[in-house]
Amino acid sequence: MELWTGIVLGFFGGLHCIGMCGPIVIALPSGGARGLRFLAGRLLYNFGRVVTYILLGLLIGLLASGISLAGYQQFLSILLGSLILLGVLLPKKWTARLFPTRRFSSFSARIRQLWGRLFGKGSLSALFVIGLLNGLLPCGLVYTALAGAGSTGSVYGGMGYMALFGIGTIPSLLAVSFAGHLIGAGFRRRLLKLIPIAAILLALLLILRGLNLGIPYVSPKAGMKHGEHGAPVQTMECCTP
């Protein structure tokens, strides 16, 4: 269940990328490259973002796997879904206190300084590194994806979720690279209004999953069994009514 929501969130979240990251993508250096070399540069930029997302998925997966082994995966799913809902529905002045992203402002400023140096080069390797750094910038959509990755309860699940999420955002950003001048600021603002809907749907799905209702795929019944060495292993009846 979790993995397909990753690529769906990424695909529709790409609309958010058009609104927020569109100017950055349009401003990416090209070094006068055209045709296949221009496409290769934009693909490397996006590949850099995906690599960073996978590494973030690795970290969140390590944390979530420990919680899952302790038998709290259902609680974690409900908690993450609730945090997403709070982030979307609460007024901004409250979310600023609940999620103090301003603390990362100096980190973001440092990344932008590095960007300034890389933007002047325009090489393929520079575009890849720009993508790597872009994946580290504070972004509500990425935080939502990390919550979904954490709900998988495993390292590989977290990495896979974030990989699919990143891949899902690529079509929109490639479209901006080739036709960004045709997308007006007003249209980008309208696209941004669609993202909270996707976040709320994912949050509700995570909460339903954690409620352990026995609904195939949506809220599978969780159980425990003993593994090879007698250690408890959590199971999911996800595919049978």
223 & 203 share domain:
no
Q: Where are the beta strands (DSSP E) in the chain?
A: 221-226, 232-237
How far apart CA 116 and CA 114 sit, in angstroms, is 5
117 & 223 share domain:
no
223 & 137 share domain:
no
188 & 230 share domain:
no
189 & 79 share domain:
yes
Q: Which range of residues forms the domain containing residue 226?
A: 215-241
| Dihedral class, residue 12 (left if φ above 0, else alpha if ψ from -120 to 50, else beta) | alpha
225 & 110 share domain:
no
Structural domain count, the chain: 2
Q: Is 117 exposed, middle or buried (0-12, 13-18, 19+ CB in 10 A)?
A: exposed
In this prediction the pTM is: 0.76
17 & 73 share domain:
yes
Contact status, residue 16 vs residue 182, Cβ threshold 8 Å:
no
At 174-212, the pLDDT tens digits run 888 877 665 656 666 666 676 787 778 888 888 887 787
219 & 152 share domain:
no
- On the question of pLDDT at 217 being above 70, the answer is no
130 & 233 share domain:
no
Residue 240 pLDDT level (bands cut at 50, 70, 90): very low
At 22-44, the pLDDT tens digits run 677 777 877 666 778 888 888 99
**Maximum average pLDDT range among 46-50, 149-153, 170-174, 229-233:** 46-50
> Which of 14-18, 171-175, 217-221 is least confident?
217-221
